[in-house]
Amino acid sequence: QETAGLVVEQFNLKEYMEEKARKVNEALDLAVPLRHPEVIHRSMRHSLLAGGKRVRPLLAIASCELVGGDEKAAMPVACASEMIHTMSLIHDDLPCMDNDDLRRGQPTNHVLFGEDTAILAGDALLSFAFEHVATSTFGVAPERVVRSIVELGNCVGSEGLVAGQIVDISCEGKVVDKDVLEYIHIHKTARLLEAAAVCGAIVGGGDEEEVARVRSYARCVGLLFQVVDDILDVTKSSEELGKTAGKDLASDKTTYPKLLGLDGARDFAQTLVRKAEGELAVFDAARAAPLYHLARYIAYRQN
């Protein structure tokens, strides 16, 4: 018990994240080589390899290791989650959606390649994500590979990312209540984080209870990510404006601080991080260390 406590305390999340991100970047580079027709592959690689924290792949790998699986088993689902994430960012940045020119510090896909190619690059990344899991996952029972493909499919479609995006679009400019705000965040953000973690636990050999705990953990972390984002929007901009009202309290977007007040939003974040930590309590402490520290990092980050 004491040794486990020490392992958890001495765990270095930054080193762990950097090491895993490096491996994921290598795997993504190999999975999507520059082949014919070159322009579509250049466009796909531009967005896929343009940096990013690789949080979804990290969740997949850490959840696989949590249930005793090997990192290699999770690499295809980890890469697939990043391909899906990248597709959603390319499409989200399009002029017909958010119309953004910059992403991860670089020009967005449609700015460099045109809208037509950007749409196709997103489509190609999305379909390749499933193909990649099916063709490149080794040493895992076929039923588990199929289950993870189902999980990924569900998380993107009209009950997942697309559902979150369409509800978000239809609420634009309106004040929404806490349930609608939660629906949008759960679907737009938490669902893919959840699928990445769940797929990791599935290919890692987790049993039903373990997979359910990983799902609940990742959902809390996904929602936490958005609540903290909302809080930081208020606190950061009030610092910049010399302690006047934060920009987010002034804009028309509904946020947690607006609905619950700043203290209420902080309490909600606290509840979520505790629940996430609670889901990890049944696992081996050393194996749970990455996920434990990731939840705390997301909760207590300052920017």
In the complex, which residues of this chain contact ligand GRG (CB under 6 A)? 52-53, 55, 85, 88-89, 91-92, 97, 104, 156, 161-162, 165, 188-189
Residue (169 or 241) nearer to ligand GRG, CB? 169
d(CA 115, CA 282): 48
Residue (4 or 94) nearer to ligand GRG, CB? 94
How is residue 177 annotated by DSSP?
-
- 106 membership: H or E segment, kind and range: strand 106-107
Task: Tell me the residue nearest to ligand GRG as measured from the CB.
Answer: 52
How is residue 187 annotated by DSSP?
I
Q: How many CB atoms lie within 10 A of CB 163?
A: 18
Q: Comparing C-alpha atoms, which of 42, 70, 53, 69 is closest to residue 16?
A: 53
Residue 289 beta carbon to ligand GRG: minimum distance, rounded to whole angstroms: 21
Residue 105 beta carbon to ligand GRG: minimum distance, rounded to whole angstroms: 9
Which tokens belong to 11? 């765990």
Residue 106 beta carbon to ligand GRG: minimum distance, rounded to whole angstroms: 11
Residue 165 beta carbon to ligand GRG: minimum distance, rounded to whole angstroms: 4
Cβ atoms of 114 and 51 within 8 Å: the answer is: no
Residue (8 or 49) nearer to ligand GRG, CB? 49
CA atoms within 13 A on the CB side of 137: 31
Residue (91 or 144) nearer to ligand GRG, CB? 91
Residue (75 or 224) nearer to ligand GRG, CB? 224
Residue 42 beta carbon to ligand GRG: minimum distance, rounded to whole angstroms: 19
